[in-house]
Amino acid sequence: MAPITIKDIQVILTQPWHSRLIVVKVITSEPGLYGLGCATFTQRWHAVEAAIEGHLKPFLIGRDVSRIEDIWQLGMVHGYWRNGPVLGNALSGVDIALWDIKGKLANMPVYQLLGGKCREAANVYVHADGRDPQEVIENAQRFMEQGYRFIRVQMGGYGGKNAGKTRPEGALDGAYYDPRAYMRNMLKMIEAVRVTLGDEIELLHDIHERLIPIDAVGFAKAVEQFKLYFLEDALAPEDIAWFEHIRQQCSTPIAMGELFNNPHEWRSMIERRLIDFLRMHISQMGGLTPARNAAIHANFYGIRTAWHGPGDVSPVGHAANLHLDLWAPNFGVQEWCRFPELVYEIFPGTPEVRNGYMYPNDRPGLGIDINEKLAAKYPCTDEIEQWTQTRLPDGSPARP
């Protein structure tokens, strides 16, 4: 029997909500058989589209769709340089789509191909923000009434309230924040939330890498008393050596990884037991294939998964996350962005959340599709990102 091959690869771009989404459609030589993958790098979507159309597509046309590992290995090194976010997302779109196809051919959900379920549904966490502690508490309480048991609490967005009023004369515009004020304000907010909501609710918080290393160590130590489920992105990838100091000084659980591209970034963290949760963006790291391997590796070291799942992961990416969540013995919790109804119309089969759990639909493959005509009504828009133009109170540029 002749193998089923890749006939065409299409890049579908759409922006029905906040983020620009990149979905890859791998069309096969078998009539009507195709797979969908997520390649969403919302800040550099043109580059990912060009990488797929100009490089991966001509390289992959005619290849056997069943050879997922072979395609991933060659795709990663075919350009010689590797492990960057553009290539990672481009290759991820293809990789996830091939898993979708394999599941359809087997007439099984992808989680069955990975090894079957370890659970029926995945606990998710949602984001409660606010302008002051009371508003954060009220928003968290609304989520609790909806059945959510894991809530990430923030105040004033990443880095806290705008600090631009104190900038010197002539300082450039940007998204200003004050790291020291952020630490003071967030500790007071988290304390208020814990006192009001009690110990039963699992609280999370995201530093978003906005502290210098020594302050991140101090913050992790100070927040230990509030028993977070985890503290997210305490340090930037450039500063990961400092995680050892956090580990030596406190028991605050740490989640890390959404900016990781290179396996050496997460491998060293796993093997040195410096973190407690992996939360890579699975399209940035290259798709389901490396995510599966990272989860297996982490399981040997008692480290759980908490894959990146904001609005700049497409519904196809969320579906892929869910299949990993259902299978992985070391699953922790899944980030969830709460898509509006329009997104469900564009992506039929988008995972549904009920009473704080995300459920699969058990259709073959990833169980998700796309209404291309409706998606085309919401084209991606070009804009210069403002929130990533971050600055300190004196006007110095800072990491977002």
Please write down the HEC assignment for all residues of the chain: CCCCEEEEEEEEEECCCCCCEEEEEEEECCCCCEEEEECCCHHHHHHHHHHHHHHHHHHHCCCECCCHHHHHHHHHHCCCCCCCHHHHHHHHHHHHHHHHHHHHHHCCEHHHHHCCCCCCCEEEEEEECCCCHHHHHHHHHHHHHCCCCEEEECCCCCCCCCCHHHCCCCCCCCEECCHHHHHHHHHHHHHHHHHHHCCCCEEEEECCCCCCHHHHHHHHHHHHHHCCCEEECCCCHHHHHHHHHHHHHCCCCEEECCCCCCHHHHHHHHHCCCCCEECCCCCCCCCHHHHHHHHHHHHCCCCEECCCCCCCCCHHHHHHHHHHHHHCCCECCEECCCCCHHHHHHCCCCCEEECCEEECCCCCECCCCCCHHHHHCCCCCCCCCCCCCEECCCCCECCC
Question: What is the pLDDT, as a whole number, of residue 208?
Answer: 95
Question: What is the pLDDT, as a whole number, of residue 200?
Answer: 94
Question: What is the pLDDT, as a whole number, of residue 22?
Answer: 98
Question: What is the pLDDT, as a whole number, of residue 380?
Answer: 96
Question: What is the pLDDT, as a whole number, of residue 165?
Answer: 77
Q: Which residues are catalytic?
A: 158, 208
Question: What is the pLDDT, as a whole number, of residue 166?
Answer: 82
Question: What is the pLDDT, as a whole number, of residue 349?
Answer: 98
Write down the mean pLDDT value for the chain: 96
Question: What is the pLDDT, as a whole number, of residue 45?
Answer: 95
Domains detected in the chain:
113-362 (3.20.20.120)
Predicted structure pTM score: 0.96
Residues of the chain with pLDDT under 70: 162, 164
Question: What is the pLDDT, as a whole number, of residue 158?
Answer: 86
